[in-house]
Amino acid sequence: MDNIIYFKALSDETRIRLINILLHHDLKVGELVSILEMGQSRISRHLKILADAGMAKCLKEGVWGIYSIADSGPGRDFLEAVRYLFEQDHVLRADLKRAEQIIEARSAGTLRFFDHIAGSWDLLKREILGTFDINHAIFENTNAHETGVDLGCGTGELLEAMKAHAGRIIGVDSSPRMLEEARKRFSDANGQKVDIRLGEIEHLPLGDNEADLAVISLVLQYLADPAAAFGEVARILRPGGVLILAEFDRHQQHSLKTVYGVKWLGFDRESIETWFEKNGFALQQVRPHNLSKGLSLNIFQAVHNA
């Protein structure tokens, strides 16, 4: 009888459409309004029913709420059992296509931002971090590796530090202007080769098992779909490979959105740890660092158990 609440929650076509979208993407209420072409009050009411049933959850981002599917629990288990029923419906497929267009528009906005500020990005980053040496903190407990990759390498500052920890170095970024700055940085480099590649973290230009060390530093906050990054990193890492993730804890510094173009105001540890676990990573350690302006940075280190 406990399942009656879930059947009731999905007894409405709008709620089925919402759940199908949230099974694939995390979206703001306004974005869901745009996809379903319905009033905001109507969408909010249906989302509340889904959240009360334990099927959806809302993460507050300032004045906005970002909705996603529940991470776990009986409601999530129920959805996993019935989601195959959604796969062939033409209305639900059309909803997902519109959702993907919104995600692509988010990514395009981020790309334009980084292309615009590429030349001054290192200075902007120092304004956020102050005197904190994030590169030193990232590699503080790192052993030697064969192939290291910096995902979202920007102008290549972290690649310089990575050279002491990996024999072969790869930098990946989606901004051509950022990569121009990275290539300038290493144009006169002697000895160790730095391989610079254009690509997105959600669709990496690397082969399966190509690296044994991956670093994502202050990049997750810019991704339209942060959870998708973990699956791609799992694909390109060898069994036993290490992923180091440096990212802000949840905060309320809204200036990072307006000045630095971030999509997310940090991430709570529980969400990060869930993404690790779902993609076959065993978390080894979390090192918190308190910064200025009410910011806290977490450095996660995990091993890929393929």
For residue 242, the model assigns a pLDDT of: 97
State yes or no: pLDDT of 94 exceeds 70. yes
State yes or no: pLDDT of 183 exceeds 50. yes
Q: Each residue of 236-258: pLDDT tens digit?
A: 999 999 999 999 999 888 777 76
- Looking at residue 71, the DSSP 8-state letter turns out to be S
For residue 138, the model assigns a pLDDT of: 95
Measured CA to CA, the distance from residue 74 to residue 63 in angstroms comes to 29
Of 173, 193, 45, 38, the residue nearest 115 (C-alpha): 173
Report the percentage of the chain scoring pLDDT > 90: 40
State yes or no: pLDDT of 107 exceeds 70. no
Measured CA to CA, the distance from residue 66 to residue 28 in angstroms comes to 4
For residue 273, the model assigns a pLDDT of: 93
Q: Each residue of 69-92: pLDDT tens digit?
A: 888 889 988 998 898 888 888 899
| Strand 64-69 relative to strand 145-151, pairing | unpaired
Average of per-residue pLDDT across 4-25: 91
Measured CA to CA, the distance from residue 107 to residue 200 in angstroms comes to 10
Lowest mean pLDDT among 129-133, 162-166, 191-195, 286-290: 191-195
For residue 109, the model assigns a pLDDT of: 59
State yes or no: pLDDT of 44 exceeds 60. yes
Distance of CA 169 to the CA centre of its chain: 22
Measured CA to CA, the distance from residue 61 to residue 35 in angstroms comes to 20
State yes or no: pLDDT of 1 exceeds 50. no
Measured CA to CA, the distance from residue 95 to residue 301 in angstroms comes to 37
Measured CA to CA, the distance from residue 55 to residue 179 in angstroms comes to 41
Burial class (CB in 10 A: 0-12, 13-18, 19+), 73: exposed
For residue 98, the model assigns a pLDDT of: 83
